Amino acid sequence: MNKQLAMALASGILGTSILSAVHAADPKPQDVVEYRKSVYTVIGWNFKPIGAMIKGEVPFDAATVARHAQYVEMMSKAAPEGFAKGSGPDAVKNTEAKPEIWTNPDKFKTAMSNFQQESTKLAEVAKTGKEADIKVQFGKTAETCKACHKEFKKD
Amino acid sequence: MNKQLAMALASGILGTSILSAVHAADPKPQDVVEYRKSVYTVIGWNFKPIGAMIKGEVPFDAATVARHAQYVEMMSKAAPEGFAKGSGPDAVKNTEAKPEIWTNPDKFKTAMSNFQQESTKLAEVAKTGKEADIKVQFGKTAETCKACHKEFKKD
The whole-angstrom separation of Cα B122 and Cα B134 is: 7
* pLDDT exceeds cutoff 70 at A147: yes
Q: Are A34 and B106 in contact, with CB atoms under 8 Å apart?
A: no
The whole-angstrom separation of Cα A66 and Cα B132 is: 37
Q: Quick check: is B101 in a domain?
A: yes
The whole-angstrom separation of Cα B30 and Cα B58 is: 37
CB contact under 8 A, A35 and B15: no
Query: Which residues in chain B touch residue A119, judged by CB atoms under 8 angstroms apart?
Result: none
Q: Quick check: is A14 in a domain?
A: no
The whole-angstrom separation of Cα B88 and Cα B99 is: 6
* pLDDT exceeds cutoff 60 at A56: yes
Out of B15, B42, B68, closest to residue A2 by CB: B15
Q: Quick check: is A55 in a domain?
A: yes
Predicted-complex ipTM score = 0.85
A3 secondary structure, DSSP code: H
What per-residue confidence (pLDDT) applies to A49? 96
B144 secondary structure, DSSP code: H
Query: Comparing B11 with B112, which gets the higher pLDDT?
Result: B112
What per-residue confidence (pLDDT) applies to A155? 76
Q: Which chain B residue lies closest to A11 (C-alpha atoms)?
A: B3
pLDDT digits (tens, 9 = 90+) for A113-145: 999 999 999 999 999 999 999 999 999 999 999
Out of A38, A50, A68, closest to residue B38 by CB: A38
pLDDT digits (tens, 9 = 90+) for B86-130: 999 999 989 999 999 999 999 999 999 999 999 999 999 999 999
* pLDDT exceeds cutoff 80 at A72: yes
Out of A9, A38, A50, closest to residue B42 by CB: A38
What is the separation of C-alpha A153 from the centre of its chain, rounded to a whole number of angstroms? 14
Q: Quick check: is B22 in a domain?
A: no
Which domain does B119 fall in, by range? 27-152
Tally the domains of chain A.
Answer: 1
Q: Which pLDDT band, with edges at 50, 70 and 90, does B24 fall under?
A: low
Give alpha helix (H) positions in chain B: 3-10, 13-19, 29-54, 62-78, 100-103, 105-128, 131-152
Q: Quick check: is B132 in a domain?
A: yes
B83 secondary structure, DSSP code: G
Q: Which chain B residue lies closest to A42 (C-alpha atoms)?
A: B35
Residues 6+ apart with CB under 8 A from B1: A9, A10, A12, A14, A15, A73, A74, A77
**CATH number of the domain bearing residue A57:** 1.20.120.10
Q: Quick check: is B8 in a domain?
A: no
CB contact under 8 A, B124 and A2: yes
Q: Quick check: is B110 in a domain?
A: yes
* pLDDT exceeds cutoff 80 at A15: no
